[in-house]
Amino acid sequence: MLDNRYETIDNLTSLYSYLHTHKNMDLNLKDKVVVVTGGAKGIGRAIVLALAKEGAIPVIVGRKQADNNLVKAEVEELGGKAIAVEAELSKPEDCKQAIQKALDTFGRIDGLVNNAGQNDGVGLASGSYEGFVASLHKNLIHYYLMAHHALDALKASKGSIVNISSKTGETGQGNTSAYAASNGGRNALTREWAVELLPYSIRVNAIVVAECATPQYDSWIQTLDNPEETLKKITDRIPLENRMTTAEEIANTAVFLLSDKSSHTTGQLVYVDGGYVHLDRSLIKE
């Protein structure tokens, strides 16, 4: 929508100059400190780089500092600033320390992206108590702990939380009880936190991912007997353009939800999936 600054523009030359200068939407994220878990790989890395391009300061949290540092270097190549924090998020004490490192460095947190996790195949028949609980720690419990420890800082900044989730919490997948339960929990916590944090103007939303091209996904597909044939069957089921969602498409949505351009959006489960979950199955290629 044209804003009232166009009232001062009285010729096409001035209009062209204005549009050329303001061709990109400013998400007002410059110098905002955003913690991103699993920020060294796949979707997390894409979110870190998207934030850096908007002038935000990502806090890259991941289990291998060498990987974290590679993405930090990418941010710096873009002219941005970031810090890398090594943390094994299945350990509660590491969650607390990661948030404290961000606060010690910058004194504030403006956003949190809970993203780290792994579809680890802990099924009902094939799993165990120990495996199920360990998977919850890997995929769900640190979502709670990161938000819990960041909460005072987010209250001070009226920040935003984005939880990355998966279709398995809604559609099921088979042989992945713990991961499906974790994603159902991620979705439920998104709605619960959105309600609890209304008095503080903290918005909480989730992005639900279906079939997204990431290194982790590529590694999994290569473990199958006919990886290329299986991948084609999967992409044929994705209604929009019959292709995988890219990590950058997830990242662009995450950055928008973190920004004040989505200032009245909270408690939403946003499906960035090419229509995979909700569109008519008759659209699937034969």
For residue 19, count CB atoms less than 10 angstroms from its CB and return exposed for 0-12, middle for 13-18, buried for 19 or more.
Answer: exposed
Taking the C-alpha atoms of residue 117 and residue 140, their distance in angstroms, rounded to an integer, is: 8
- Residue 144 bears catalytic tag: no
Taking the C-alpha atoms of residue 35 and residue 161, their distance in angstroms, rounded to an integer, is: 10
Catalytic residue of the set 143, 179, 217, 276: 179
- Contact in structure between 56 and 31 (CB atoms under 8 Å): yes
Q: How far is CA 99 from CA 29, 146, 251, 258, in A?
A: 19, 7, 21, 18
Q: Can you give the C-alpha Rg of the chain in angstroms?
A: 20
Taking the C-alpha atoms of residue 201 and residue 37, their distance in angstroms, rounded to an integer, is: 23
Q: How far is CA 232 from CA 88, 236, 243, in A?
A: 35, 6, 9
**Would you name the residues annotated as active-site residues?**
179
